[in-house]
């Protein structure tokens, strides 16, 4: 779905997030430093201060909105080896005509120095989301977002890499 080999494919930090005091994402760029698939990845530079909850949010508008053939979504996230423990990641979807925001029930811990795969199930009744998805949920995906979070700790200023974002049956 998104491989970040040649372009960011319209991924970015939304204006509203840049204006928020708890948003710490600074830039989004292509990188050839590390990749879980192919030779490129998306690099998000973030500056987590520690001491309070903060997040770095990126998103993309979806042009193919019917995900009913798919059962899950996954992305690979990489933190450099010297990153302190404690950063988390989760998917966020904006769905339906009312552009309703829903996020994963719980964030997934990221492991410094290795790729961590974040997966959320999309089938009706999945417990991965704050509200239980129905078939209508999968038929009208408007935006796809990913948030990297620090819940007070750690303080970290540096890159986060994302790659191989995919839908699976």
Give the model confidence (pLDDT) of 3-24 as tens digits.
Answer: 999 999 999 999 999 999 999 9
Per the CB < 8 A criterion, the answer to whether 112 and 79 are in contact is yes
Digit-coded pLDDT (tens) for 38-67: 999 999 999 999 999 999 999 999 988 899
What are the structural domains of the chain?
15-168 (2.60.120.260)
pTM of the model: 0.95
Q: Is 31 a residue whose pLDDT tops 90?
A: yes
Query: Please, what's the b/e burial string for 9-46 (b: 16 or more CB within 10 A of its CB; e: otherwise)?
Result: eebbbbeebeeeeebbbeebebbeebbbeeebbbbbeb
């Amino acid at each position: 779905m998104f491989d970040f080999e040649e372009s960011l494919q319209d991924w970015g930090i939304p204006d509203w997030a840049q204006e928020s005091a708890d948003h710490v994402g600074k830039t989004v760029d292509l990188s050839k430093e590390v990749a879980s698939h192919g030779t490129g990845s998306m690099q998000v530079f973030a500056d987590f201060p520690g001491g309070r909850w903060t997040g770095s949010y990126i998103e993309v508008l979806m042009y193919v909105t019917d995900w009913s053939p798919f059962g899950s979504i996954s992305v690979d996230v990489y933190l450099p080896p010297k990153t302190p423990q404690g950063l988390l990641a989760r998917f966020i979807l904006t769905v339906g005509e009312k552009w309703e925001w829903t996020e994963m029930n719980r964030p997934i811990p990221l492991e410094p120095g290795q790729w961590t795969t974040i997966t959320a199930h999309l089938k009706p009744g999945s417990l991965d989301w704050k509200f239980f998805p129905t078939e209508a949920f999968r038929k009208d995906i408007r935006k796809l977002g990913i948030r990297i979070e620090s819940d007070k700790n750690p303080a970290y200023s540096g890159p986060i890499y994302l790659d191989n974002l995919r839908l699976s049956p």
